[in-house]
Amino acid sequence: MATKKTIVKKPADKIAPKKDAAKDLAALFEDGLKDLYWAEKALYTKALPKMLKNATDPKLKKAVSNHAAETKNHIQRLEACFAALGKKPQAKKCDAMQGLMDEGKGIIEECQPGSVRDAGIIAAAQKSEHYEIASYGTLAAFAKVLKQDKCLKLLLQTLKEEKNCDSTLTKIADTNLNTAAL
């Protein structure tokens, strides 16, 4: 006769907050701005130039170049958000974006130049875009509740551009780039 195994579930580890942990939504909002400020600056100075240098498809190169120009504006909008809060712009390392950038570099290294690498670049770029879309959407929701109208307007403007970039990348991949990568 078979015996039943009893599954013992361990309780989830409770995480103690750091001593400088956010105590309210305003502090969480500011932390999010710092995180995105680091992410946008890292994308602008590191990831997007690598993508541009390694892409071969003219439409992809144009999309990456255009988004680099937009990213410069995203950085300026975040600086304007800090100013609206009466704060000096400050970057806090974004572990998520660092991981996405590392993965993107790995994809480039693991793909032969041409359509396969271009498809990989699009995949990596869209992962970053989706992270940014989620982050800007969350911060816009926080700004709305906090009645930070100037920040809300700036964040929504950037959110729209991030969504447009994602849509552009999808169109480039769907046209025939993914098929060419077969």
Question: In angstroms, rounded to a whole number, what is the distance separating the alpha carbons of residues 132 and 48?
Answer: 14
- For 12-36, write each residue's pLDDT tens digit: 788 888 888 889 999 999 999 999 9
Q: What tens digit of pLDDT does each residue of 107-141 get? A: 999 999 999 999 999 999 999 999 999 999 999 99
The pTM for the full model equals 0.89
For 40-53, what is each residue's pLDDT tens digit? 999 999 999 999 99
Rounded to whole angstroms, what are the CA distances from 66 to 48, 115, 124, 143?
10, 20, 17, 27
Question: Cβ–Cβ contacts within 10 Å for residue 12, how many?
Answer: 6
Nearest to 155 by CA among 77, 44, 41: 77
Burial 42-70 (b: 16+ CB within 10 A, else e): bbbeebbebbbebbebebbbebbeebbeb
Q: Kindly list the structural domains of the chain, giving each domain's residue range(s) and its CATH number in brackets, ordered by start.
A: 25-180 (1.20.1260.10)
